Amino acid sequence: MRPLEGVLVLDFSTLLPGPMATLMLAEAGAEVVKIERPEMGDEMRHYHPRWGSDSSNFALLNRGKRSLALDLKDPWARERLAPLIARADVLVEQFRPGVMARLGLSYDAVAARNQRLIYCSITGYGQTGPKRDVAGHDLNYIGDTGLLALSSGDPARPQVPPALIADIAGGSYPAVLNILLALRAREVTGRGCHLDIAMTDNLFPFLYWAMGQGAATGRWPGNGTDLVTGGSPRYQLYPAADGRIVAVAAIEDRFWAAFCTAIDLAPELQDDARDPEATRRGVAALVAAQPSEHWRAVFAQADCCCSIVATLAEAMADPHFVARGLFTYRLVNDSGATMPALPMPIAPQFRAPAEAVPRRAPMLGADNDNDDFA
């Protein structure tokens, strides 16, 4: 038995933060019902690349869920939701503050029908505060919290980060964490609650070291100036002769000593505290003199926290991740094509075997005629 079997989740969210959160809940056994707009549905359905009738993004984030297509501005549609709300355990929504209230679906309104309901609101800036109504996306959120300023590349050619940090780490993961805490609290109190998940709020734990440094010393980190943002030769990306990138993370002295020995760094450069830039240039020249496969073999013997940056295709074929079973689960679309399912951070003992997992994302309105939702 998966731990969330018997838990009913109503998912009013779209795009990434909410759908990934409810995917994790579904992975742990919850029944997730997406409430979507008629005709269009979740915007993510229409993204590219297409994979069957919908986008590959939608398929990855919404497998195993159900779909009700309802116009929430229509009183009949809201009435149809009433029995579902009355027996739901969790509701996830991702509208701007006030939208659900205008639809007659505020926390107070639904709690009056179901006091055990856990109502999770995911927004960029939260339900309160001067920015509560400001529109934004991931790049705005990491920019507003100081995270982007720590490592955005050369100001003449700033780099967009490769991951949607705020959406997933600031939205999806805290939503799941707090939903699980609320379910546990409900066992004691018998009552649900309203969870205000602000993606920006949840980014500050990623800045722990920068906050500590600034508060303790008065010297706030700059762009790429500190240990883990590119300011040290010990934690740095170095191009090899073939253009592949060597990731050096030899922070501790024992790893740094092993690294310096492995690449035969000149003794006068090994004390990187004396002239960090000279050490960085020396390491860069040595790494650039040999191809990545040379360094792969060297680092395999040196035990110094160094590796060759892999492409995503290489990572998905890596024997380690294959052996870990990350890509055992498969998705299938309406055309019969398959691809790996998105791995979720749910321990294997809390998931169903791969062969027992629903492998499709729902077609829009697929459950509109389902008597269970009448």
CATH of the domain at 290: 3.30.1540.10
Across the range 219-228, mean pLDDT stands at 96
Which pLDDT score, from 0 to 100, does residue 1 have?
82
HEC letters along 326-342: CCCCEEECCCCCEEECC
What DSSP assignment string belongs to 223-261?
TT-STTTTSSTTEEEEE-TTS-EEEEE--SHHHHHHHHH
The answer to whether residues 49 and 125 belong to one domain is yes
Two structure tokens written together for 331: 């998705």
Across the range 263-278, mean pLDDT stands at 97
Geometric angle at alpha carbon 237, from 234 and 242, rounded to 5° = 130
How many domains, in total, are found in the chain? 2
Residue identified by tokens 């229509």 is: 74
Question: Which residue among the candidates 11, 42, 167, 272 is catalytic per the annotation?
Answer: 167
Q: How far is CA 170 from CA 49, 99, 100, 196, in A?
A: 26, 21, 22, 12
Phi, psi of 325 (to 5 degrees): 80, 20
**With bands split at pLDDT 50, 70 and 90, how would you rate the model's confidence at 283?**
very high
29 belongs to a structural domain: yes
d(C-alpha 206, C-alpha 215), whole Å: 15
The answer to whether residues 133 and 67 belong to one domain is yes
Two structure tokens written together for 101: 């209230």
167 in active site:
yes
If you average pLDDT over every residue of the chain, what do you get?
96
137 in active site:
yes
Do residues 37 and 338 lie in contact, with contact meaning Cβ atoms separated by under 8 Å?
no
Report the first-to-last Cα separation within the chain, whole angstroms: 27
**With bands split at pLDDT 50, 70 and 90, how would you rate the model's confidence at 374?**
low
Domain of 145, in residue numbers? 8-199+325-373
Across the range 307-330, mean pLDDT stands at 96
